[in-house]
Structure 1
Amino acid sequence: MMTFANQILGFLKQLGFNKRLPKGIKILHPFHDETVMDLVQQFYQKYYNDTKQRKLVLGINPGRLGAGATGIPFTDPKRLRNVCNIHTDIQLHEPSSVFVYEVIEAFGGAEQFYNEIYISSVCPLGFVIEDEKGRVKNYNYYDSAKLTKTVQPFIVKSIKEQLEFGIERDQVFCMGTGKNYKFLNGLNKKEGFFKEVIPIEHPRYVMQYKMKQKERYIEKYISALRA
């Protein structure tokens, strides 16, 4: 039997999207970068080199400062160095990663967390768009109806492939209680991936709007994941 790590790596290496995107939107594909793939291989071989079943947490899609830079969802270069002890010279910081790694610490640390949990994204590739000043910004798969329709078959295929890794299918935890949850819950009703979709607040929302209540949201994550 292939290890969880080898299945993840095989999945990421073959990821591709060749459909035409709506005007102005570009694909964010970190796994075409050799440096990123080296980090990804080190990370998954370190924490997933086994055949254990895991619970699935799904974010939205990779962003430039987290998975876009490291290839690992909600793991920015700083957390990769300081918590996972995997070296990278990239100097980036993502607030969502700060929150997730506080959850991981409260859970019992990276080894215990990743021994039980696998984090991915509803759409495993990300998107970017340039604003009127030429600045590149993250773009979510649900930010336009045309993009959502274009990528939905890719999303369905990607979720189905990841379920084969050894994912518990009673529940999936959805990061985002708004549009991400609405889309995933509707898709799940149609496709029957899981018995239940559990919404939890997105880390970015907590860090941007609920910093004073951050500890409460960390506790909510722990309670949900351990239920």
Structure 2
Amino acid sequence: MTLADRIIAFNKSLHFEGKLPAGIHVMNPFREKKDIVDIMTKFYRKYYSDNQPRQIILGINPGRLGSGSTGVPFTDTTRMKQVGLEITDFKTHEPSSVFVYDVINAYGGPEKFYKRFYITSVCPLGFTTDKGDKVINYNYYDSAALTKSALPFIVKCLKEQLSWPISHEVCYCMGTGKNAAFLQGLNTEHQFFKEVVPLEHPRYVMQYKSRSKDAYVQKYLDTFAAHV
């Protein structure tokens, strides 16, 4: 099996069995929309049809407008079009994907970037809650009850992904606050990686530090260069 085969099978098998706190819903795009499975499959067949080891980059959990709409972390319909996978039935814009693709393009483009890195999330399924008449994203760490419920799922999914050709030397963590603290604690217990390296989350950069975006792109590149 290639790495693409493993990723595709893993995504299609994802199922959250934990007890959700009141008002919280699990978001599983791979079971809710067939089109997303098709898009995701094309993407991973394009960039991961080999068994070359990758370094792992971990976000928080999928959001509705990012991988919740495409099946691929830190992309939206615009970014998918940029890699030759046009989605015509709907359009999404995920600001985090803009930053990530600035990093990818500065690194040398998708072909080069995805040959070295595999992006996923600490929790590979997302969560939502209702706020008035709106559905909003919810993070696995936003309530202690959800974190506790999600923990077995998170550990199981990380163990499975780390059985693939994924480096155990270093993990890049998107998020220097709660996501990093949780992952570093988990790593202390399970010894998944020799080192967890936190980086500012793309959403944080785009929302609060957009004027300094280029500096954060360079920080990502410098960090990657330091862990070749």
Identity value in percent: 54
- In the alignment, which residue of structure 2 is the partner of 1:150? 149
Aligned equivalent of 1:226: 225
Cα distance between partner residues in 1 of 2:77 and 2:124: 19
Displacement of 1:116: 0.4
Higher mean C-alpha displacement, 14-23 vs 99-108: 14-23
Structure 2 portions without partners, runs of 5+: none
Aligned residue pairs total 224
Could you tell me which residue of structure 2 aligns to residue 169 of structure 1? Answer: 168
Does 1:48 pair with 2:48? yes
Q: Please tell me the residue identity of whatever aligns with 1:40.
A: M
Q: Which moved more, 1:96-105 or 1:84-93?
A: 84-93
* Alpha-carbon distance between aligned partners in 1 of 2:128 and 2:195, rounded to the nearest angstrom: 31
Q: Hey, which bits of structure 1, 4+ residues long, moved more than 6 A?
A: none
Extract unaligned runs of 5+ from structure 1.
Answer: none
1:63/1:126 contact within 8 Å kept: yes
Instruction: Answer whether contact 1:65 1:92 (CA < 8 A) is retained.
Output: yes
Q: CA RMSD in A?
A: 0.6
> Per-residue CA shift, 1:144-202, capped at 9, x if unaligned?
00000000000000000001121111110000000000000000000110011000000
Contact 1:66-1:74 at 8 Å conserved across structures: yes
Question: Which amino acid is the alignment partner of residue 98 of structure 2?
Answer: V
Show CA shifts across 1:89-120 (max 9, x none): 22110100000000000000000000000000
- The one-letter code matched in structure 2 to 1:218 is V
1:128 corresponds in structure 2 to 128
Preserved contact between residue 78 and residue 93 of structure 1 (Cα < 8 Å) = yes
In 2: Cα distance, 1:19 partner to 1:58 partner: 21
Secondary structure of the corresponding residue to residue 142 of structure 1: coil
TM-score by length of 2: 0.97
